[in-house]
Amino acid sequence: MATLNRKKIQILSLVALLSALPLTITQEAKAESEAKPLLIAAKTEQFKMKQGFERKPKDIINTLTDNEVTAFHIFLDGLEQAFSLDNTLKNKGPFTVFAPSDKAFKTIPADDRKSLWANKKRLKEVLQYHIVSGKFDAKALAMMSSVKTLDGRELKLSKKGDDLYADTILVKTTDIPCSNGVIHVLDGVVMPQLSK
């Protein structure tokens, strides 16, 4: 009988110990998580050439036309229509281009996009706001607070952790090499204050 009671006490002690264990682990994990900042994966990624697909850099327009990152059909169409900005980006440069992907342009309502395309002067202003004279890689941009765009306005730059932003738009991919500059892919369209 005494042996049975002793075993019962041991079992109850073990149950009490085990039930207290998750609470202790939870409290320790909570204390540890409060001590360390939460690490969130960076959304800005550096361009990496796919192995076996290395190729000689092309000019900005040809890189926008043919690349393995994303599609830029809407941006290219706008550059062509906006007083031949596409020809400017075929020149020697160098240029830094903040290029919105097709997906980025589709965040603008279709009617607003049509209206912008119908007004070539405004379209040129918007697209020039995405282009900078000179070649600035992500490392250089990270140390700058703004860059002067082709239309003469300042495009604000900022960093949050490892993420780079142009105005409030996330730069998704940086440093796509071109023979006459560099392309950084935007998650949206940066919009300047448009003249009347």
Of the listed ranges 16-25, 47-56, 112-121, the one predicted with least confidence: 16-25
Closest CA to 62 of 179, 184, 172: 179
Q: Is residue 8's pLDDT more than 60? A: no
In a domain, 194, yes or no: no
Q: Rounded mean pLDDT of 126-139?
A: 96
Q: Domain with 74 in it: what CATH number?
A: 2.30.180.10
Q: Is 178 helix (H, G, I), strand (E, B) or coil?
A: strand
In a domain, 173, yes or no: yes
One domain, residues 80 and 9: no
CA angle 93, 97, 102 (to 5 degrees): 140
Q: Is residue 42's pLDDT more than 70? A: no
Of the listed ranges 19-33, 66-80, 81-95, 104-118, the one predicted with least confidence: 19-33
Parallel/antiparallel/unpaired status of strands 163-166 and 154-160:
antiparallel
Question: DSSP alpha helices (H): ranges in 36-129?
Answer: 60-65, 73-81, 85-88, 102-105, 110-118, 120-128
In a domain, 80, yes or no: yes
In a domain, 192, yes or no: no
Q: Is residue 78's pLDDT more than 80? A: yes
Closest CA to 43 of 140, 147, 161: 161
Structural domain including 34 reads 1-39
One domain, residues 17 and 96: no
pTM comes to 0.74
One domain, residues 33 and 74: no
pLDDT at position 184 is 96
Residues paired with 95 in a beta bridge: 133, 181
pLDDT at position 9 is 54
The residue behind tokens 């906006």 is 82
* CA–CA distance, 62 with 89 (Å, rounded to integer): 10
Report for 3-7, 8-12, 187-191: range of highest mean pLDDT:
187-191
pLDDT band at 113 (very low <50, low <70, confident <90, very high): very high
In a domain, 139, yes or no: yes
**More confident of the two residues 127 and 45:** 127
Longest dimension (CA), the chain: 100
- Are 75 and 100 in contact, with CB atoms under 8 Å apart? yes
pLDDT at position 104 is 93
pLDDT at position 11 is 53
In a domain, 196, yes or no: no
Number of domains in the chain: 2
One domain, residues 162 and 102: yes
One domain, residues 28 and 50: no
* CA–CA distance, 78 with 194 (Å, rounded to integer): 16
One domain, residues 145 and 168: yes
One domain, residues 35 and 113: no
One domain, residues 130 and 109: yes
Percentage above 70 pLDDT, the chain: 73
One domain, residues 141 and 168: yes
In a domain, 26, yes or no: yes
Of the listed ranges 44-48, 61-65, 87-91, the one predicted with least confidence: 44-48
One domain, residues 18 and 75: no
One domain, residues 5 and 85: no
pLDDT per residue over 90-110, tens digit each? 998 899 999 999 999 999 999
In a domain, 118, yes or no: yes
One domain, residues 18 and 91: no
